């Protein structure tokens, strides 16, 4: 009986530990990471190029109901390298993306 209880306690502590680790990993990811992934995906698709560098430029007010998450990406297509500023507009109430703007920098 004691072995069963000890095994049960051990199993529960292992499960609790793994849940805690995954929660900590999620907490370490910055708020803008979700929008950065979207910016990278949409930019690679639009320009048909490899993303070679990524920089988060910050959050800017867009309106009373939205913010702009801004990223600067460096792209490589063949021998050509160029920059693109990507703005992901996010609705504050729903935390859903709106339009995405692209500005070629070079």
Burial (CB < 10 A; 0-12, 13-18, 19+), residue 72, is middle
Strand partners, 66: 91
Confidence class for position 4, pLDDT limits 50, 70, 90: low
DSSP run (H or E) holding 22: helix 2-28
CB 101 within 8 A of CB 84: no
> Where do we find the tokens 């990524």?
54
**Structural tokens at position 9:** 């306690």
Q: What is the tens place of the pLDDT at every residue in 7-61?
A: 555 555 566 665 555 556 656 888 899 999 999 999 999 999 999 999 999 999 9
Answer whether residue 95 shows pLDDT above 80. yes
Q: List C-alpha distances in Å: 13 to 4, 16, 22, 91, 92.
A: 14, 5, 14, 40, 38
**pTM of the model as a whole:** 0.73
**Residue 54 three-state SS:** strand
Report the distance separating Cα 67 and Cα 36, nearest Å: 14
Confidence class for position 106, pLDDT limits 50, 70, 90: confident
């Amino acid at each position: 009986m004691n072995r069963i209880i000890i095994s049960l306690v051990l199993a529960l502590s292992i499960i609790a530990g793994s849940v805690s680790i995954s929660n900590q990993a999620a907490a370490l990811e910055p708020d803008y990471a979700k929008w950065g992934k979207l910016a990278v995906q949409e930019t690679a698709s639009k320009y048909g190029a490899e993303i070679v560098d990524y920089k988060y430029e910050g959050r800017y007010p867009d309106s009373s109901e939205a913010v702009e998450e801004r990223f600067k990406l460096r792209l490589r297509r063949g021998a050509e390298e160029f920059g693109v500023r990507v703005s992901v507009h996010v609705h504050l109430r729903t935390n859903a993306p709106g339009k995405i703007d692209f500005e070629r920098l070079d």
